[in-house]
Amino acid sequence: MSASTMGQAPGPDMLLEARKVTKTFGGLVAVNKVDLEIPRGSIISLIGPNGAGKTTFFNVIAGILDPTSGVVEFDGQQVVARPVRAWLEPVTWVLPAIAIGLLGFLVYQASAVAGALVILVAIISLIVMLLAAIVRPVWYRSLLLRFGVFKSARPNEMVRAGIGRTFQNIRLFANMTALENVQVGMHLKMKANAADALFSTPRAQAEEKASIVTARQFLDLVGLKGRGGQLAKNLPYGDQRRLEVARALASEPSLVLLDEPTAGMNPNETRQMTELISRLRHDLGLSFLLIEHDMKVVMGISDRITVLDHGERIAEGTPEEVRTNPRVIEAYLGKPPE
C-alpha cells in the first residue's frame, strides 16, 4: 500500500510556508498578515478565541478562499496566489507604461516639454514596477492578485498538491457507505475516465477492485475495520469523525488540515483521536495543522502552536512558551484589572 510511503517524498524541510496572509471581507480584516510555517512531519496547532480568524486562515490554506494578499507555498510550489495567466504578468505593468507613453507621444505633438514629461512618467512607472517586483515581491504579488493575474489553486488542485482536510461540522457524504466515502477521497489517485466507465474496460475494473482493497486499509488504519458497508449517516459520532480522517488520508496527502477534530467528543473518543493523530504522524510521516479548542489536546500533541486573536498572530512557539505567554493569557481571559 502506498500509504506507507506517503508524506516522505523528498522536498524542502518546510512543507508549508504562509507569508503575510491577509483576508478582508469588505472592511473587516479577518486575517491580518499572518505567517505560518509547517515543517515536514510536525503537528502544528492554530488556536485563538472565537472569531480570531482561525477558520478563515484555514480556508485560505485549503484553497476555499482567495487571500486578499499574501503567499502560501506548499512543498516548494506556490498554491495560493500563483500565476494562472503567466503571460499577463509582464503585460500588467508594461501596458500602463506603454499607454502613458503613447499619451505622452500625443501630448508631444502639441507641447514638447509636456510630452517629454509624460513620457518620463511612463519610464518612471515602468522602473517602479520593476523595482517593486524585485524588492517587494509580496506587495507586487498582491497587486497582481487584485488584477486577477494571480489566483489560488482550486480546492481540488490543492488536494492534488497534497493537502487533505476534515471539517469542523462533519461533512461526510451521508447517503454513501463508509467505504464509498473513502473511495471518493481516492478520486484523484484513480484514473478511470468516462470511456473506461462506458465500456467497463479491464483496466477500470481492476482499478475499482484495487480501490476497494485500499479503501478498506484506510478504514482499518483509523479503526473502522468491518464498518465499510454502513451508510456514513448511520455511524456513531466518533466513528464519523474517524471516517472523515480516513477520507482525508485517502488522497494520500502530505499535510492534513484538521478543523476541530475532537469537537463534540467525549473524553474517551478525544483520547482515541489524539492517539490516532500521533500514530499517523509517527507511522506515515504526515504533517498536521490543527484548529482545536480543547487545550489538553493542543498542549498534548502539538510541536508548535500559533495563536491568533482579532486576525493577528499574537504568539508562536512551543506549547510551554505559549502557555506562559502573557498576551495569550490576556486574549483568552481578558486584561487583569489594574
Partner 1 sequence: MTVNLPRFARPLGIGAVALIVEYLLLGTQQFANALTLGAIYALIALGYTMVYGIVELINFAHGDVFMVGSFLAMWIMTTIFGLTGPVTNLVNLVGLLAIVMLATMVGMGLIGAFIERVAYRPLRHAPRLAPLITAIGVSFILQNIIATAFGPSPVNFPQIVPADKFALMGARIAYLNLFIVIMAVVLMIALQVFIGRTRLGRAMRSTAQDREAAELMGVDINQTIAITFFIAAALAGAGGMVQGLYAGSIKFDLGFFVGLKAFTAAVLGGIGNTTGAAIGGFVIAFVEVYATVIGYTQWSEVAVFTVLILVLVFRPSGLLGQQLGERA
Q: Among candidates 186, 152, 136, 148, which has minimal Cα distance to 77?
A: 152
194 binding partner 1? (CB under 8 A): yes
Residue 197 within binding range of partner 1, rule CB under 8 A: yes
280-285 — which CB contacts under 8 Å span 24+ positions?
A: 280/221, 280/245, 280/249, 280/256, 281/41, 281/42, 281/43, 283/4, 284/3, 284/4, 284/6, 284/7, 284/249, 285/6, 285/7, 285/8, 285/40, 285/41
Task: For the CB of residue 127, give the shortest distance to partner 1 in the complex, in Å.
Answer: 40
Q: Binding mask 9-48 vs partner 1 (x if CB under 8 A, - otherwise)? A: ----------------------------------------
Binding partner 1 (rule: CB under 8 A), the pick from 3, 6, 14, 64 is 64
* H/E stretch holding 229: none
164, with CB counted inside 10 A (0-12, 13-18, 19+), is buried
Q: Which residue in 155, 285, 300, 319 binds partner 1 (CB under 8 A)?
A: 155
For residue 29, the cross-strand partners are: 24
Interface mask toward partner 1 for 210-229; x: CB under 8 A: -x------------------
- Stretch touching partner 1 by CB under 8 A, among 60-68, 70-78, 132-140, 271-279: 60-68
Residue 188 binds partner 1 (CB under 8 A): yes
- Should residue 180 be labelled a site residue for partner 1 when binding is judged by CB under 8 A? yes
> What does residue 52 show for φ and ψ, rounded to 5 degrees?
-80, -10
Minimum CB distance to partner 1, residue 188 (Å): 4
State which residue, 109 or 175, has the beta carbon closest to partner 1: 175
Helices (H), the chain: 54-62, 88-110, 112-135, 137-147, 155-161, 178-185, 194-199, 202-221, 237-250, 267-284, 295-301, 319-324, 326-333
Is 62 a binding residue for partner 1 by CB under 8 A? The answer is: yes
Shortest distance in whole angstroms from residue 187 CB to partner 1: 5
Which residues ranging from 245 to 304 are in contact with partner 1 (CB under 8 A)?
247-248, 250-251
Query: Which positions lie near partner 1, rule CB under 8 A?
Result: 62-64, 154-156, 158-160, 164-165, 167, 171-176, 180-181, 183-185, 187-188, 190, 192-194, 196-198, 200, 204, 207-208, 211, 247-248, 250-251
